[in-house]
Amino acid sequence: MKGYYFITDSKLSRAGNERDVLSAVSCGVKIVQYRNKTAETRQIYEEAVRLREICRDSLFLINDRVDIALAVEADGVHLGQSDIPCLAARKLLGYDKIIGVTVHNLAEALLAESIGADYLGVSPIFQTATKPDAGKPSGIRLIEEIRAEIDIPLIAIGGINHSNASEVVRAGADGLCAISCVVARENVKDEIKKFQEIFLATGREI
């Protein structure tokens, strides 16, 4: 679970979720998270089915919705602090599925690891407008603090762009997500490749 981590955003996307995900997997993205906070359940399910087919060679995770993840046989879910608890999700999904948990401080990170999270989304690193309720940015200090105590993979998110991504990787992030500076651009592939090159330039595998 290293390198650029793709999250869909239909509101920001210029091409649409399906074309964005096609672009992502075609240039080597290994993990895709489908996030849709506004559509009705049937619409989310139907789009998830289509995206699941695109992601046969990549890990496909569903944001929040354990029911959708089960229905489309996704590889797992990503949960926020206000979503169904990790332990409850694990009972429903079993131990062969991936569960990621968003954390905002070291205490949340330690708890999530102790109850079986497979990876952590550390957020928000920098100021972000993509997720208005993300909270106060922590800076790379939080990545360094959690990295010193946690063994499972860390995915950094929030305000990350091509200018600050290298310091995020050097701080200890195994992966990173940048949404607006990818899906809102004309060439999604080119923007993702820039992030992949940053990982390679810092000596990290992707």
Is 23:188 a contact under the CB 8 Å cutoff?
A: yes
Higher pLDDT, 136 or 38: 38
Please, which residues bridge with residue 32 across strands?
6, 60
* Closest to 35 in 3D by CA, of 58, 3, 4, 12: 12
Tell whether 206 is covered by a domain: no
Question: What pLDDT digit, counting tens, does each position of 102-121 carry?
Answer: 999 999 999 999 999 999 99
Q: What band does 1 get if pLDDT is binned at 50, 70 and 90?
A: confident
The CATH number linked to 141 is 3.20.20.70
Number of domains in the chain: 1
Tell whether 171 is covered by a domain: yes
At residue 127, the pLDDT reads 80
Distance CA 163, CA 161 (A): 5
Distance CA 52, CA 42 (A): 15
Question: What pLDDT digit, counting tens, does each position of 13-45 carry?
Answer: 999 999 999 999 999 999 999 999 999 999 999
Distance CA 8, CA 13 (A): 8
Segments forming the whole domain that contains residue 9: 3-201
pLDDT over 90 percentage in the chain: 89
Tell whether 175 is covered by a domain: yes
pLDDT at 205 over 80: no
